[in-house]
Amino acid sequence: MNGVARFVKMVTFWELLKGMAITSRFLAKPKVTELYPDVRPVLPYRTKGRLHVEIGTCISCRMCEKACPEGCIKVFQPSKEVFKTDKRPVEFYLSQEHCLHCGLCVDACPTGSIHHSQEFEMAVYNPDDLLFDKETLPYDLDLKHFRWNWIENAPVKK
């Protein structure tokens, strides 16, 4: 009986047809493709997007500059007299062109002024457009992405 069944299966290409039936079922199934520019993707909480710097809370300690393996951060401290009252940097250069999105600067920052955002579209026509300074650096004041103690603050997955 077993032999007969196997013979019938062989002659009718049963296995091959079964495969085709399975693939044909996928024809009608909903598609998994995300239509990206029309439908924005929901990014995970820890997405290492483009760096945002909160100049207002930055204390010009240059920890991020030291931590960066690519050397894409350059912080200019204010003069000594000014520094006593106002610790904010006089200039802050950040080159997204060389940035690895490694997050070392974020870990190094004692005040959490530099942090990743969810922004990931950084295509430009001119590489110079990726060099940001104090004026052009994006930041968010509401500290939505405030990453100080981010491990503790991360939503817990059940």
Contact residues for ligand SF4, defined by CB under 6 A = 51, 53, 58-64, 67-68, 70, 72-73, 75, 99-105, 108-109, 111, 113-114
52 binds, among ligand SF4, another protein, none (CB under 5 to 8 A by kind): none
Please name which of 69, 24, 49, 55 lies closest in space to residue 118, comparing C-alpha atoms. Answer: 49
Q: Which residues bind another protein (CB under 8 A)?
A: 16, 19-20, 22-24, 26-27, 29-33, 35
**Within its chain, how far is the Cα of 63 from the centroid?**
21
67 binds, among another protein, ligand SF4, none (CB under 5 to 8 A by kind): ligand SF4
Sole residue written with tokens 């990726």: 130
Please name which of 91, 94, 87 lies closest in space to residue 110, comparing C-alpha atoms. Answer: 87
Minimum distance, C-beta of residue 136 to ligand SF4, in the bound complex (Å): 16
Tokens of 101: 């999105």
Its sign, for the CA torsion 11, 14, 20, 21, is: positive
Closer of 15 and 91 to ligand SF4 (Cβ): 91
154 binds, among ligand SF4, another protein, none (CB under 5 to 8 A by kind): none
Minimum distance, C-beta of residue 73 to ligand SF4, in the bound complex (Å): 5
130 binds, among ligand SF4, another protein, none (CB under 5 to 8 A by kind): none
Its sign, for the CA torsion 45, 61, 82, 96, is: negative
